[in-house]
């Protein structure tokens, strides 16, 4: 098995809650290309706040799955570009697994954001799971 190269986003961006890289790059078996594996991406900003999560005066948090999804997709795109030195982007995605905390309420909003990049080039996502 080939060795992987870890990629960490610059310090101004959200860092992993543990010392895990944002992505790992692995050379293809024929040595002519590589694969970038991204995991654990959220809408968290560098300051620890979350896009699409707005605290209210009563202590509740208003969640907007569309804003969260757009931020996650933007983060994934930046991670892929960084890990590949700009040679790849989210449009080169082969597969994705998405975890939602409430499939019934969030799937439609998430999917509407996921579909936006498909207008330029199809993204593939066949795995969407509910995780509570």
Q: What is the pLDDT of residue 95?
A: 82
Q: What kind and span of H or E run contains 36?
A: strand 34-38
Q: What's this model's pTM, rounded to 2 decimal places?
A: 0.84
Look up the CATH number of the domain holding residue 120: 3.30.1330.40
User: 81 with 110: CB under 8 angstroms?
Assistant: no
Q: Provide the domain count of the chain.
A: 1
Q: What percent of the chain has pLDDT over 70?
A: 86
Going from the C-alpha of 73 to that of each of 4, 32, 49, 63, 100, the distances in angstroms are 23, 27, 17, 17, 14
55 phi, psi to nearest 5 deg: -70, 140
**How far is 121 from 100, CA to CA, in rounded Å?**
24
Q: What is the pLDDT of residue 82?
A: 94
Q: Which residue has the higher pLDDT, 17 or 48?
A: 48
With 90 as the cut, is the pLDDT of residue 120 above it?
no
Q: What is the pLDDT of residue 19?
A: 77
Whole-number average pLDDT of the chain: 85
């Amino acid at each position: 098995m080939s060795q992987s190269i870890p990629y960490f986003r610059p310090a101004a961006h959200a860092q992993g809650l543990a010392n895990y890289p944002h992505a790992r790059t692995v050379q293809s078996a024929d040595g002519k290309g590589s694969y970038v594996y991204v995991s654990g991406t959220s809408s968290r900003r560098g300051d620890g706040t979350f896009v699409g999560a707005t605290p209210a005066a009563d202590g509740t948090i208003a969640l907007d799955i569309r804003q969260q999804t757009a931020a996650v997709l933007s983060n994934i795109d930046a991670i892929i570009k960084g890990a590949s030195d700009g040679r790849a982007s989210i449009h080169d995605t082969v597969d994705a697994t998405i975890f939602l905390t409430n499939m019934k309420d969030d799937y439609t909003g998430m999917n509407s954001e996921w579909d936006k990049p498909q207008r330029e080039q199809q993204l593939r996502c066949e795995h969407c799971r509910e995780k509570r």
